[in-house]
Amino acid sequence: MTQASRKVAIVTGASRGIGAVIARQLAAQGFAVAINYASSASEASALVVELRQAGHQAIAIKADVANAADVARMFDEIELQLGKVDVLVNNAGILKVLPLAEHSDELYEQTFAINTRGTFNTLREAAKRMNDDGRIVNFSSSTVGLNMPGYAVYIASKAAVESFTHVFAKELRGRRITVNAVAPGPVATELFLQGKSEEQIQTFARMPPLERLGQPEDIAEIVSFLVSPAVGWVNGQVLRANGGLV
């Protein structure tokens, strides 16, 4: 595929976890992929090397999605190196499980800065700079439907992302850009596993009728579906992917 015909995808938070698998999947689908990360530089560059060795086009870009200037610079760099963006996957996110009453101001602000403002920052930039006929996939969480204790601030940060998804899909009228969100249940990544005992992990794994944790590949397949050119009629939706948990 020539550089001019290759469509360009950004995956935020693609150095590890679900985002890294999405980046691999989109590269295999023929996208030139921009791998965004905040601090895991060596993981991001290893992924770039892996994708390039497989014949794909990929770059790594350090940018804190919570910082509007970083996000604008990220779009500048991508346009310069790969071209205008066709697909935006807003995957970067953090989770700290703690009762609402025990949240510090700093933790509240950090969660909303990355999960909510981070998504806002890239959406605002995308509105100005994405090609028409594009695809945007935001990341919510099935915890929005579960309302489990300890998840209040995280859930609130993701519920806002679901609202962005519904409204932004309408605000892009006329551009033929779809805006959807994926809301995974528990997926076996550092974000979910960190700080949980084996027993807690097994309890989560038994919850859905499919009786296992999600794998990053389960979620990457859905993103791949939502960004494919043939899937242009799903718009403004939140797709929960959790093995039937909620």
User: By CB under 6 A, is residue 122 in contact with ligand NAP?
Assistant: no
Known active-site residue 108: no
Tell me the window of 53-61, 90-98, 128-136, 145-153 that interacts with ligand NAP (CB under 6 A). Answer: 90-98
Q: How far is the CB of 246 from ligand NAP (least distance, A)?
A: 12
Within 10 angstroms of residue 174's Cβ, the number of other Cβ atoms is: 6
Within 10 angstroms of residue 202's Cβ, the number of other Cβ atoms is: 12
User: By CB under 6 A, is residue 111 in contact with ligand NAP?
Assistant: no
Q: 56-75: which residues touch ligand NAP (CB under 6 A)?
A: 64-66
User: By CB under 6 A, is residue 97 in contact with ligand NAP?
Assistant: no
Q: How far is the CB of 163 from ligand NAP (least distance, A)?
A: 16
Instruction: Give the number of residues in contact with ligand NAP, rule: CB under 6 A.
Output: 32
* 23 Cβ contact list (under 8 Å, min separation 6): 11, 14, 33, 35, 47, 51, 58
Give me the residue label for tokens 């469509």.
Answer: 7
Closest CA to 15 of 55, 54, 64, 77: 64
CA-to-CA distance for 210 and 112, rounded, in angstroms?
A: 31
User: By CB under 6 A, is residue 136 in contact with ligand NAP?
Assistant: no
Tell me the window of 45-53, 89-97, 127-135, 223-231 that interacts with ligand NAP (CB under 6 A). Answer: 89-97
Give the residues across from 182 on adjacent strands.
139, 239
User: By CB under 6 A, is residue 39 in contact with ligand NAP?
Assistant: yes
User: By CB under 6 A, is residue 190 in contact with ligand NAP?
Assistant: yes
Give the residues across from 9 on adjacent strands.
33, 87
Closest CA to 149 of 101, 201, 200: 101
Q: 191-210: which residues touch ligand NAP (CB under 6 A)?
A: 191-192
User: By CB under 6 A, is residue 151 in contact with ligand NAP?
Assistant: no
Q: How far is the CB of 210 from ligand NAP (least distance, A)?
A: 15
User: By CB under 6 A, is residue 40 in contact with ligand NAP?
Assistant: yes
Q: How does DSSP assign 211-243, residue by residue?
A: -S-B-HHHHHHHHHHHHSTT--S--S-EEEEST
Which residues are known catalytic residues? 154
Judged by the rule CB under 6 A, the positions of this chain that interact with ligand NAP are: 12-19, 36-40, 64-66, 91-95, 114, 118, 139, 141, 184, 186-187, 189-192
